[in-house]
Amino acid sequence: MRYAIIDVETTGGRPKESKITEIAIFIHDGKEVVDSLCTLINPEMEIPEFIVRLTGISDAMVANAPKFFEVAKQIVEITEGCVFVAHNVGFDYSMIRGEFRSLGFDYRRDQLCTVRSSRYLLPGYDSYSLGKLCRALGIQVENRHRATGDALATTKLFDILVQKTEGNLSGFVQGEIDTKDLNPNLDLNSIDDLPEKTGVYKLFDEDNQLIYIGKSKSIKKRVEQHLSNYKANKNGEMRKEICRAEFILTGSELIALLLESKLIKQHRPKYNRMLRKSRFSHGLFKYTDQNGYICLHVKSMSKALDIPLTSFASAAEGAKILHAITDKYELCQKLNGLYKSTTSCFRFQTKECKGACIKAETAEHYNARVNMALEKMEFAHDNFIIIDKGRTKTERSMVWVEHGSYVGFGFVPFPVWRQSPKNWNDFLELQVEDKDDSAIISLHLRKNEDAQVKVL
C-alpha cells in the first residue's frame, strides 16, 4: 500500500471560502519516501494579513507561482492509488477536493488521519496538535506552518505509526465513497457540503420521501458511512435510494438524541424500523424474593408487564449498567441475576459481597443499599437545566426539566446566557414529552457524570 502524506497552506481556515497557497506531497511506500511534489500555489486572491504573519507566505511570493489548475494533473498522477494521509485529514482533503471541484473534476482518495490514529496508537499525550505532539515525541519540525515543513513532520510521525502497527495501518484507513450502485440522481457534491458537526440528518429518496433519520457527532461522516456501507442489508438497500440529505445542527449530542427520537416517531421513515416505537428495547426491573431481598434484573420491554426503573437501548447496555451498580453498591451478583449458583455468588468468595445470597446479611441492610442505588438512578433534582455546547461558539444549548419531566430545549446567545435563567425562557422550544425522553436524559447523565447541570 502506498501513502500520499500531504499538507497544504491556505488563505483561511474554511475550505469553502479559502484557496490553497502551498502544497507538499510525500509518497511513502510503507517503508520510506519514494517521491514528492512541493510547490507554492497562486491562489488568485489576496492573502489576508494574519495568514501572512502565520505562514510567511505573501502575495509577492505567490505572484509567479503556478495556479492550481496548472499542477492539478501532477497531483492526480502522483497520488493515484495512494491513501491520502494528513494531520487532521478532513481539512487538507476538503481543500484539495474543493480546488478540483472548481475545475469540474471529482477527486477522491481513501484517507488516513494521523490525529485519530495517534490518539489510538500513542495514548496519553496532553495534545495531539502537530507541533505539540512532535515536540513530545522528539520530532524536529522545521519551517512550521509551511507545507513542506509540516508534511515532513507528519511523515516522521507516520513512520512511528507504521512501526507501532508493524506496517498494518489498514484499520485506520477511511474508505472513500464508491459510486457503484448509488442512485444516479444523488449529487455527491452536496454530501461534501454537509457539516462535520453534531446534529440530526434526514435522508430522502428520488420521490422526496423521507427514508431515514439519524444523529451523529459528525453529520458528514455518518452520511458517508451510509453511502459506503455494503455489509448491512438495511444500508445495502438504502444507499441505492438516497438522493438528498438535510440536517439540523444541535451542538449538543443530548438534543440530537431527543430530536432524533421525536422525528422518527413523527415521520416513521421506512429504514428506521427499530426506533419507530421506542429506542429502548430493555429495562431494569425489580422484585422482592421470598426471603425479602430486593432483586434487580434486566429484561426485554416486550416481556414486561410493569414499568421499568430505567430503560436501555440493548440487553448488553443494561447488563453493563447493572454490573456497575452491583459493583458500586456492593450488591449481590446472584440476586441480580448476574451469577448463577445454588450457593453463594462469586463476589462473596472474594469478600466483595456481604452475603445476601446465603442470608449472611440481613434483607434490611442489603435493601438499604439497593434503594440507595435506585435513588441515584432517578433525577437528582426536580427542576434543572442541562447546559451544553451550542450550534456556534456564540451560544450555549439547554435541556430543561421541570417537576421531573422534560419540557424542551433551546439555544441561548451569550449576552442572554450571562443573565438569570428566567430570561432564557424566550429561547426555549417547548416539547411534548414521551416515554423515551426521561430515559434518554437519564442515560445521558449516567454516561456523562461531568455534565453541567444548573438546579432551578
Q: What are the tens digits of pLDDT across the range 140-149?
A: 888 888 999 9
Are 9 and 153 in a shared domain?
A: yes
Strands of the sheet with 33-40, listed across from one edge: 33-40, 20-28, 2-10, 82-86, 111-113, 173-174
148-185 b/e with 16+ CB inside 10 Å = b? bbbbbbbbebbbbbbeeeeeebeebbbebbeeeebeee
Higher pLDDT, 313 or 68: 68
Is 341 part of a structural domain of the chain? yes
pLDDT at 439 over 90: no
Are 318 and 430 in a shared domain?
A: no
pLDDT digits (tens, 9 = 90+) for 164-184: 999 999 999 988 777 777 899
Is 182 part of a structural domain of the chain? no
Residue range 48-71: average pLDDT? Answer: 96
Are 370 and 307 in a shared domain?
A: yes
Q: How far is CA 64 from CA 50, 69, 427, in A?
A: 22, 14, 52
pLDDT digits (tens, 9 = 90+) for 12-39: 988 888 999 999 999 999 999 999 999 9
* Residues in contact with 262: Cβ distance below 8 Å, sequence separation at least 6, in sequence order: 431, 434
- For residue 106, give the CATH number of its domain: 3.30.420.10
Are 15 and 160 in a shared domain?
A: yes
Give the model's pLDDT for residue 232. 45
Question: Which of 63-67, 103-107, 439-443 has the lowest average pLDDT?
Answer: 439-443
Instruction: Extract the C-alpha cell encoding 359.
Output: 442470608
Residue range 215-221: average pLDDT? Answer: 94
Beta strands in 252-382 (DSSP E): 282-288, 294-300, 310-312
Residue range 6-14: average pLDDT? Answer: 93
pLDDT digits (tens, 9 = 90+) for 333-343: 999 999 888 88
Question: Which of 105-109, 192-196, 373-377 has the lowest average pLDDT?
Answer: 373-377
Residue range 153-161: average pLDDT? Answer: 97
Are 146 and 17 in a shared domain?
A: yes
Give the model's pLDDT for residue 416. 94
Are 73 and 112 in a shared domain?
A: yes
Are 52 and 96 in a shared domain?
A: yes
What is d(CA 358, CA 342) in angstroms, rounded to the nearest whole number?
Answer: 9
Is 315 part of a structural domain of the chain? yes
Which amino acid is it at 358?
I
Give the model's pLDDT for residue 313. 79
Number of domains in the chain: 4
Cβ(18)–Cβ(12) under 8 Å?
Answer: yes
Cβ(116)–Cβ(172) under 8 Å?
Answer: yes
The string of DSSP letters for 204-253 reads E-TT--EEEEEEESSHHHHHHHHHH--SSHHHHHHTTT--EEEEEE-S-H
Q: How confident is the model at residue 308 (pLDDT cuts 50, 70, 90)?
A: confident
Are 53 and 111 in a shared domain?
A: yes
Three-class SS of residue 380? coil
Is 402 part of a structural domain of the chain? yes
Give the model's pLDDT for residue 243. 95
Q: How confident is the model at residue 434 (pLDDT cuts 50, 70, 90)?
A: confident
What is d(CA 176, CA 155) in angstroms, rounded to the nearest whole number?
Answer: 22
Domain boundary among 359, 377, 395: 377
Strands of the sheet with 405-413, listed across from one edge: 428-430, 405-413, 395-402, 384-389, 452-455
**pLDDT cut 90: percent of the chain above it:** 68
Q: How confident is the model at residue 233 (pLDDT cuts 50, 70, 90)?
A: very low
Give the model's pLDDT for residue 275. 57
Q: Which of 9, 27, 11 is nearest to 19 (CA)?
A: 11
Give the model's pLDDT for residue 448. 87
Domain hosting 313: range is 282-377
pLDDT at 230 over 70: no
Give the model's pLDDT for residue 341. 86
pLDDT at 426 over 70: yes
What is d(CA 94, CA 192) in angstroms, rounded to the nearest whole number?
Answer: 8
Are 112 and 128 in a shared domain?
A: yes
Q: If you search the block for the grid coordinates 451542538, which residue do you land on? A: 251
Are 269 and 286 in a shared domain?
A: no
Higher pLDDT, 434 or 265: 265
Residue range 332-354: average pLDDT? Answer: 88
Maximum alpha-carbon separation in the chain: 89
Give the model's pLDDT for residue 60. 97
First to last CA, the chain: 58
What is d(CA 103, CA 20) in angstroms, rounded to the nearest whole number?
Answer: 14
Give the model's pLDDT for residue 192. 84
Are 207 and 246 in a shared domain?
A: yes
